[in-house]
Amino acid sequence: MFLLTSVLVGVVCLLMVWIFKSADGGTQRRKGEPRARAEARPWVDEDLKDSTEVHQVEEDADEWQVSEEEVEHVPFSHTRYPEKEMLKRSQEFYELLNKRRSVRFISNEQVPVEVIDNVIKAAGTAPSGAHTEPWTFVVVKDPDVKHKIREIIEEEEEINYLKRMGPQWVSDLKKLRTNWIKEYLDTAPVLILIFKQVHGFAANGKKKTHYYNEISVSIACGILLAALQMTKTVPKELASIYLLTL
């Protein structure tokens, strides 16, 4: 009865079901070409690894250049608010986003599909490593499919809580009163599943590496959350529910 787009806000965060990962087994590297190790600042080296995988054997260095020639040049246009207006807009945006909460109680009210399309299109404007846009957004409205997704997630989450996360992590989550039961995956009228693409495919079907894919997809998720939060507001009575931030 209460949340509208928060239907999605909560769900989005929980459904980073990185499935593409499973389709992509191990890293391959040409023999005799071990990755060069640099000396200074080891964390930079570690950061570069991301979950990016290197497919030098499968890629053709010319493929990216070819596709570039087909891309139309779009002149950059820029506009600016006067300072007073910048200040007002930044303040209002902060206040609006500060009202967002990650919740476990979700409304079953419908949201127009055009709104879903727009927030996903907004997320797709995110920057990405080498402009690979390594994300796939899947919108699910069918109740049976939603329920199957819930079953898969609950099964995995139960293993997380009981085995994978360890006693400290489970203890840290106690104050948030979360568990592996996720009824709201049935309640929400729409689920947006977000997948990271560890690699893409070039025109000839060969694998194309997606650099910094996890960071890129997460940035897109941040923009998606902002877009969802932008679409609501107009007073409405509702119950005070316990606050949870994922």
Q: What residues numbered 57-76 form the site for a copy of itself, per CB under 8 A?
A: 59, 61, 64-65, 68, 73-76
Does residue 31 belong to the site contacting a copy of itself (CB under 8 A)?
no
The residue from 138, 190, 193, 223 that contacts a copy of itself (CB under 8 A) is: 223
Q: How far apart are CA 20 and CA 196, in angstroms?
A: 6
Does residue 118 belong to the site contacting a copy of itself (CB under 8 A)?
yes
What are 24's two structure tokens?
A: 């992509």
Give the amino acid at 94: Y
By residue count, the chain amounts to: 246
Does residue 234 belong to the site contacting a copy of itself (CB under 8 A)?
yes
What are 201's two structure tokens?
A: 């495919």
Nearest to 29 by CA among 11, 53, 65: 53
Residue 204 CB, nearest approach to a copy of itself (Å): 15
Q: Where in 176-215 is the site for a copy of itself (CB under 8 A)?
A: 176, 209, 211, 214-215
234: left (phi over 0), alpha (psi -120 to 50) or beta: left
Does residue 99 belong to the site contacting a copy of itself (CB under 8 A)?
yes
Q: Where in 134-153 is the site for a copy of itself (CB under 8 A)?
A: none
The residue from 26, 31, 114, 144 that contacts a copy of itself (CB under 8 A) is: 114
> 146 or 157, CB closer to a copy of itself?
157
The residue from 70, 163, 204, 205 that contacts a copy of itself (CB under 8 A) is: 163
The residue from 31, 94, 144, 205 that contacts a copy of itself (CB under 8 A) is: 94
DSSP state of 73: P
Structural contact between residues 105 and 241, judged by C-beta atoms closer than 8 angstroms:
yes
Structural contact between residues 199 and 142, judged by C-beta atoms closer than 8 angstroms:
no
Residue 223 CB, nearest approach to a copy of itself (Å): 4
Sign of CA dihedral 231, 114, 103, 171: negative
